[in-house]
Amino acid sequence: MSTPREVTLIPGDGIGPAITDATLRLLDAAGAEFRWDRQLAGMAAVTDHGDPLPEATLDSIRRTKLALKGPLETPVGKGFRSINVALRKEFDLYANLRPAKTVLTNTRFENVDIILVRENTEGLYVGAESYIKVGNDPQAVAQSVAVITRGGAERIVRYAFEYALKHGRKRVTVVHKANILKYSQGLFLEMGRKVAAEYAGRIASDDKIVDACAMELVMKPEKYDVIVTTNLFGDILSDLTSGLVGGLGLTPGANIGYDCGIFEAVHGTAPDIAGKGIANPTAVMLAACQLLDHVGDVPRADRIRAAIGATLRERKVVTGDVGGTATTDQYTDAVIARLKS
């Protein structure tokens, strides 16, 4: 037996601990060789350490270079900045890979298989926000600056094309809003076209304005293969693509840098169902499969994905968000039983 790979585990807030526990149970049943270093972040860390991102958590990821993460609560409009954004910055996790693939049958679309590659460190998420005082009102004007760099645009587009080559994909679509945001989005599109030209003859490419892309995605999602786009558009479009295949409960996301990867669900802490034992753990389970892919254990990831797919398609023991009545634990047991059958 090989030495288990150490991975930082951040259970997270809300439904996080329940769905990460379920995922660990499944990984154990599949014989995955990981040693977990449990660490806190988000509200759970504020409660315990008075710090939403303790140094011990950062040190652990610096050492392991890998983390499986539950969702973290971020106060809206005030309070500390998003820990997810901070982690992406700290480890330069510039590529956010969000696949959306049809698993359930009898949904609106049967053949969706989209890889959305979102730039994860730039754009409107750089945190360059300020107020301007006008008269007596100190917050009369609010501004948020979008930053696109030539280097940042080039590396994310290249990542998308390299991903397409490695995984037998046919087309990469560069999604932008360069018609209006001629500088920032214009630079992204310029770099998109430059990199696309290098792959001509190997990977087809096109570009689409984000609003037209959103419309097409809900009408003809089968047309799309790999999409690469800037941070905010990627955030929004990836929720859209997860809606095409059955909702947030089913969509994982990998945050990848040069030497570090953090794997998580696309969804948040689901405060409305936290503590009820009914959350769908599939997205984190599929994120764990992305982790397995990342460390080269693709056959085990494929076995787990097949067990999840079969359980979901059968629709006998599935959670409420996908039309069933099963609890998180019952669903997890059903996936494990499939894995072993």
Q: Identify whether 125 is a catalytic site residue.
A: yes
Of the residues 268, 295, 303, 329, which one makes contact with ligand NAI according to CB under 6 A? 268
Question: 151 vs 323, which CB is nearer to ligand NAI?
Answer: 323
Which is catalytic among the residues 69, 159, 163, 177? 177
Question: 83 vs 172, which CB is nearer to ligand NAI?
Answer: 83
Q: Identify whether 333 is a catalytic site residue.
A: no
CB of 321 to ligand NAI, least distance (A): 4
Residue 279 engages ligand NAI in binding (rule: CB under 6 A): yes
Structure tokens at 310: 């079969």
Options 92-100, 140-148, 158-166, 273-281: segment touching ligand NAI (CB under 6 A): 273-281
DSSP tag of 264: E
Scored b (16 or more CB within 10 A) or e, 2-28 reads eeebebbbbbbbbbbebbbbbbbbbbe
Residue 271 engages ligand NAI in binding (rule: CB under 6 A): yes
CB of 294 to ligand NAI, least distance (A): 18
Of the residues 24, 53, 189, 248, which one makes contact with ligand NAI according to CB under 6 A? 248
Q: Identify whether 235 is a catalytic site residue.
A: yes
Distance in angstroms (rounded) separating the CA atoms of residues 41 and 311? 32
Options 31-39, 71-79, 206-214, 298-306: segment touching ligand NAI (CB under 6 A): 71-79
Residue 87 engages ligand NAI in binding (rule: CB under 6 A): no
Options 2-10, 54-62, 223-231, 269-277: segment touching ligand NAI (CB under 6 A): 269-277
CB of 272 to ligand NAI, least distance (A): 5
Options 109-117, 171-179, 206-214, 266-274: segment touching ligand NAI (CB under 6 A): 266-274
CB of 14 to ligand NAI, least distance (A): 7
What is each CA distance from 110 to 101, 103, 113, 202, 273, in whole angstroms? 9, 8, 9, 27, 28
Of the residues 23, 60, 84, 242, which one makes contact with ligand NAI according to CB under 6 A? 84
50: left (phi over 0), alpha (psi -120 to 50) or beta: left
Residue 245's SS3 state is coil
Options 45-53, 70-78, 112-120, 148-156: segment touching ligand NAI (CB under 6 A): 70-78
- Looking at the DSSP bridge assignments, the partners of residue 129 are 144
**Strands of the chain, DSSP E:** 5-10, 34-38, 66-69, 95-101, 113-119, 129-134, 137-144, 171-176, 204-209, 226-229, 252-256, 261-265
Question: Which residues ranging from 3 to 32 are in contact with ligand NAI (CB under 6 A)?
Answer: 15
CB of 89 to ligand NAI, least distance (A): 14
- Looking at the DSSP bridge assignments, the partners of residue 177 are none
Chain centroid to Cα 75, Å, comes to: 20
What is the DSSP annotation of 177-231? Answer: -TTT-TTHHHHHHHHHHHHHHHTTTTSEEEEEEHHHHHHHHHH-GGG-SEEEE-H
Which is catalytic among the residues 13, 37, 125, 331? 125
Residue 235 engages ligand NAI in binding (rule: CB under 6 A): no
Q: What is the dihedral of CA 62, 64, 69, 74, to 10 degrees?
A: -10
Give the count of residues interacting with ligand NAI (CB under 6 A). Answer: 20
What is each CA distance from 63 to 7, 8, 59, 243, 333, in whole angstroms? 9, 9, 6, 36, 33
Distance in angstroms (rounded) separating the CA atoms of residues 149 and 151? 5
Of the residues 272, 299, 340, 341, which one makes contact with ligand NAI according to CB under 6 A? 272
Residue with tokens 């059903």: 334
Which is catalytic among the residues 235, 293, 297, 321? 235
Catalytic residues: 125, 177, 211, 235
User: Which parts of this chain interact with ligand NAI (CB under 6 A)?
Assistant: 15, 71-74, 84, 248-249, 264, 267-273, 279-280, 283, 321
